Amino acid sequence: MTWFAVLKMPNPYGGKWSNLTGDEYYRMDDKNKRLYHSAMHGMYVRQIKRAVEPRKAGQAPPATDEQIRGLRELGRFHSRQHERMKDPSINKENYYSLEEEKNRQMSKPQYDAVERIPLTTKEMYDKYSREQKMAYWNRLRTQLITEYGNNYPKGVMAGRLSMRMRRNPNYTPPFEGDETARTEYKDLQHRDISEYDNFTDEEKRKYHARMRNRKDVDVDVSRFHRRMVYRIKTSNLPTYPTPEAEKEAEQ
């Protein structure tokens, strides 16, 4: 059954779907609630079309931009409620009206008043607030994994950057992205090794412990860092940032 057919059929109380009250809505079963949201979504789709088409044809618009945005928001609301009830994996309560909805996850709409919202450019990204940049990477991840699958490299990167921004308030990736691997990224959270001589004992211990446990170091290098940690904890012997630095000091 199409939304247009639903729109013409009466609701369980004998009136038009558009005249349904909130009290009547909450007394209906899920099937009729879905029909209500389907009918209302279709109604707003038609209203948006009537408001936008004259604008595209260069004619006087029958509605302002704000009015069209309002119609789109209402149309999206009813579409969300219908999809929630259609998909049992979406565990969210349904609402009769947009004003009542309190469990919405905000996302950037595809359209502004009339035209499709342009894709983010570097110039736009650079002007975003940090919160907007985080939302951009979240949005990009969702778009890419939906179209190309969970293992699509750029989608994986977008998800990784979003997570890093959530966990590290001092980290903001550039528009081009950041291919830094996990271990390299962790290194960036600490002081540069060139400042090793100015490290505190605790900073040295953490540095050597981190390097000792890296998966990409060979056995001899791991032993070196373990020995440095032992020196820091138990003796006054000098410590060095790398095996090469130790050899150079001994010459």
Q: What is the mean pLDDT of the chain?
A: 84
pLDDT greater than 60 at residue 114: yes
pLDDT greater than 70 at residue 7: no
CA–CA dist 158, 145 (Å, integer): 10
109: which 2 tokens? 């709409």
CA distance to 50, 111, 118, per residue, from 59 (Å): 12, 20, 23
Q: What pTM does this model have?
A: 0.48
CA–CA dist 249, 251 (Å, integer): 6
**Higher pLDDT residue, 211 or 237?**
237
CA–CA dist 100, 94 (Å, integer): 9
What's the mean pLDDT in 209-220? 80
Q: Helix %, strand %, coil % for the chain, to 5?
A: 60, 0, 35
Confidence of residue 43 (pLDDT cuts 50, 70, 90): very high
- pLDDT value for 185: 73
List, for residues 53-98, the tens digit of each pLDDT value: 887 777 776 788 888 888 988 998 998 899 888 877 778 889 999 9
**Higher pLDDT residue, 187 or 120?**
120
- pLDDT value for 193: 79
- Residue 110: CB atoms within 10 A of its CB come to 9
pLDDT greater than 60 at residue 147: yes
Outline where 57-92 has alpha helix (H).
Answer: 65-86
Q: Describe the crossing of helices 130-148 and 153-167 by its angle, rounded to 10 degrees.
A: 150
CA–CA dist 212, 194 (Å, integer): 18
The answer to whether the Cα torsion of 161, 162, 165, 168 is positive or negative is negative
pLDDT greater than 80 at residue 124: yes
CA–CA dist 189, 206 (Å, integer): 12
pLDDT greater than 80 at residue 109: no
